[in-house]
Amino acid sequence: MTETQKSATLSLNGETYELPIFSPTAGPDVLDIRKLYAQAGVFTYDPGFTSTASCDSTITYIDGGKGELLHRGYPIDQLASKSHYLEVCYLLLYGELPTAAQLEDFETRVTRHTMVHEQMHNFFRGFRRDAHPMATLVGVVGAMSAFYHDSLDVTDPWQREVAAVRLIAKLPTIAAMAYKYSIGQPFVYPKNDLDYAANFLHMCFSVPSEEYHVNPILSRAMDRIFILHADHEQNASTSTVRLASSSSANPFACIAAGIACLWGPAHGGANQACLEMLKEIGSVDRIPEFIARAKDKNDPFRLMGFGHRVYKNTDPRAKVLKQSADEVLELLGVEDNPLLQVAKELEQTALNDPYFIEKKLFPNVDFYSGIILEAMGFPTSMFTPIFALSRTVGWISQWKEMIADPQNKIGRPRQLYLGETMRDYTDIEKR
Ligand code: CMC
């Protein structure tokens, strides 16, 4: 971030104020309003942060107009085709692609942390079997702060490192346990000779009574889904993690806060909602009815998996996933899957409809991921937990960046107060 010679002038009540301008390495210039309240006595108003940069960051860059997503400068489609998830985790966490030795060391560290404290098994058993796995995930990840006392001190860089590795390593185990618990099957321990994605499939789909061989094409597809969800700059759940940790709360509690935010259908919950919508549409002849509903201002229905705050072009992750969906369904011999037919037709119809063109609404990451996950055998309730476990590295990378930033201070937005001014209390009999 460099402060240029440029500045903006604000005229207010006969006074002028110079606002410095920062030029990022990519993206629009940023007005520095940090001293505005102290100097001019006014706040800025920006609900939903549509015009506000909440931090500076070097991790992820999105060009919404071009439909471009870069992690540490590397385009997402190159990472999805050439890299694998743990290498992308290393890149996000440490800023550069690892050497072979660095990667081996990192993979070993993650792999050695995949088991959860045995007593956590009892903790799971306290939940109802029909609990949504996201409810279980929020609770269990928050409870990690009660189990791993040696990595709670956020002022200690070593403890931060241990917490980061623990979270990345254990989230698949916890998500798989939430799934196994919900279907009444025994928990499956991680298998450290499998890679990250294959191990997750093993923990979800194997049972003690049978041999389970992970299909390498499916584990590659799983790995690609993990990569595509790994980070997405200052989205709602990442901002939640940053805000929660700005008070120096412990990392497990902060990631639990991020998981809670991700759960909503406008964010990570959209993948479940999208597949449910495709099932409700059911056949291509019903598409016009749902397109009409999405356009009707009096109908709260929205086309799930469409639209994005930042992308005003196709989400680059959706392009990769569309191709993955074709590959996975072909491998599984279900290429004529009716949901995929509905999805493709719906996408075409929406992309040619003036409403969606004018509002720049394109398919997002959630549009095709659900079809792949369902074909792999996951129930819809597991879609958002899979998003959460993939995004953990993004949350952790942003958290580490924030804690190490000397400018870090507690997040405390202001407000435009429109309530009553001071008035006297009225006794109950007089109201
Ligand atoms: N279907 C129909 N209309 C839509 C849709 C949609 N999916 N998305 C936005 N619009 C309309 C909206 O009604 C509004 O119209 P108008 O200007 O006439 O009031 C306009 O487009 C702008 O919408 P907005 O809600 O102001 O835009 P936003 O940037 O606040 O919301 C969004 C972004 C992703 C929440 C929204 O597009 C949406 O609800 N999409 C469906 C849910 C979804 O797929 N979410 C996943 C997002 S990507 C993964 C993730 O972040 O987790």
Atom in ligand 1 nearest the alpha carbon of residue 306: 7
Which residue is associated with the tokens 């301008």? 21
Tokens 């595509």 label which residue? 228
CA of 361 to the centre of ligand 1 (A): 8
By alpha-carbon position, which residue is closest to atom 51 of ligand 1? 267
Q: Positive or negative, the Cα torsion across 394, 82, 87, 55?
A: negative
Q: For ligand 1, is residue 219 a contact (CB within 6 Å)?
A: no
Instruction: Indicate which atom in ligand 1 lies nearest the CA of residue 274.
Output: 44
Q: For residue 235, which atom of ligand 1 is closest to its CA?
A: 51
Q: Does the CB atom of residue 318 touch ligand 1 within 6 A?
A: no
pLDDT tens sequence across 97-111 = 999 999 999 999 999
Secondary structure (DSSP) of 280-319:
HH-SGGGHHHHHHHHH-TTS----TTB--SS-SS--HHHH
d(CA 211, CA 394): 34
Q: How far is CA 363 from CA 262, 274, 314, 317, 344, in A?
A: 19, 11, 6, 9, 10
**Number of helical (H) and strand (E) elements in the chain, helices listed first:** 18, 6
DSSP string of 51-97? T---S--SSEEEETTTTEEEETTEEHHHHHHH--HHHHHHHHHHSSP
The answer to whether 170 and 116 are in contact (CB under 8 A) is: yes
Q: Answer whether 292 contacts ligand 1 (Cβ < 6 A).
A: no
Q: Which of 277, 364, 384 to mutate to test the pocket of ligand 1 (most atoms within 8 A of CB)?
A: 364
pLDDT of res. 326: 84
In this predicted structure, what is the pLDDT of residue 337?
81
* Residue 187 burial (CB count, 10 A): 17
366, 405, 424, 427: the catalytic one is 366
Q: Is the CB of residue 294 below 6 angstroms from any atom belonging to ligand 1? A: yes
Cβ(361) – ligand 1 distance below 6 Å: yes
Separation of alpha carbons 165 and 299, rounded Å: 45
Catalytic entry in 308, 315, 326, 405: 308
Residue nearest to atom 26 of ligand 1 (CA): 309
pLDDT value for 2: 55
Q: Which residue has the tokens 């079997």?
A: 129
What radius of gyration do the chain's Cα atoms show?
Answer: 23
Ligand 1 pocket residue status of 304, Cβ below 6 Å: yes
Place of tokens 């072979």: 100
Exposure b/e, 206-242, CB count within 10 A at least 16 = b: beeeeeeebeeebbbbbbbbbbbbbbbbbbbbbbbbb
103 contacts: CB under 8 Å, gap ≥ 6: 86, 87, 90
Specify the pLDDT at position 4. Answer: 64
Closest-CA residue to 251 (of 398, 383, 104): 398
Mutate to test the pocket of ligand 1, among 263, 281, 293, 306 (most ligand atoms within 8 A of CB): 306
Distance (angstroms) between ligand 1 centre and the Cα of 307 equals 5
Q: Are 365 and 77 in contact (CB under 8 A)?
A: no
Strand-pair category, 68-71 with 60-63: antiparallel
Contact 87, 98 (CB under 8 A): yes
Query: How far, in Å, from the CA of 294 to the mean position of ligand 1?
Result: 10
Indicate if 213 belongs to the active site. no
Nearest-CA neighbor of 292 among 281, 282, 283?
A: 281
Q: From the CB of residue 64, how many other CB atoms can be counted at a distance below 10 Å?
A: 16
Q: Is the Cβ atom of 390 under 6 angstroms away from ligand 1?
A: no
Burial label, 264 (beta-carbon count in 10 A; 0-12, 13-18, 19+)? middle
pLDDT digits (tens, 9 = 90+) for 394-405: 999 999 999 999
Where would I find the H helices in 332-407?
Answer: 338-351, 354-358, 366-376, 383-404
pLDDT of residue 338: 86
Q: Rounded to an integer, what distance in angstroms lies between the CA atom of residue 123 and that of residue 365?
A: 33
Nearest CA to ligand 1 atom 21: 359
Q: Tokens 């995929």 belong to which residue?
A: 340
Per-residue burial over 147-174, b = 16 or more CB atoms within 10 Å of its CB, e = otherwise: bbeebbebeeeebbebbbbbbbbbbbbb
Nearest protein CA to atom 17 of ligand 1, as residue: 359
CA of 316 from ligand 1 middle (Å) equals 17
Q: What is the pLDDT of residue 1?
A: 55
Length of the chain: 431
308 is known as an active-site residue: yes
Residue segments in the chain with a per-residue pLDDT below the cut of 70: 1-4
Ligand 1 neighbour 270 (Cβ under 6 A):
yes
What is the Cα–Cα distance from 39 to 148, expressed in whole angstroms? 45
**Which residue's CA is minimally distant from atom 22 of ligand 1?**
359
Task: From 359, 366, 384, 390, give the residue whose CB has the most ligand 1 atoms within 8 Å, as the site to mutate.
Answer: 359
pTM over 0.85: yes
Q: How far is the CA of 227 from the centre of ligand 1 (A)?
A: 24
Contact 110, 86 (CB under 8 A): yes
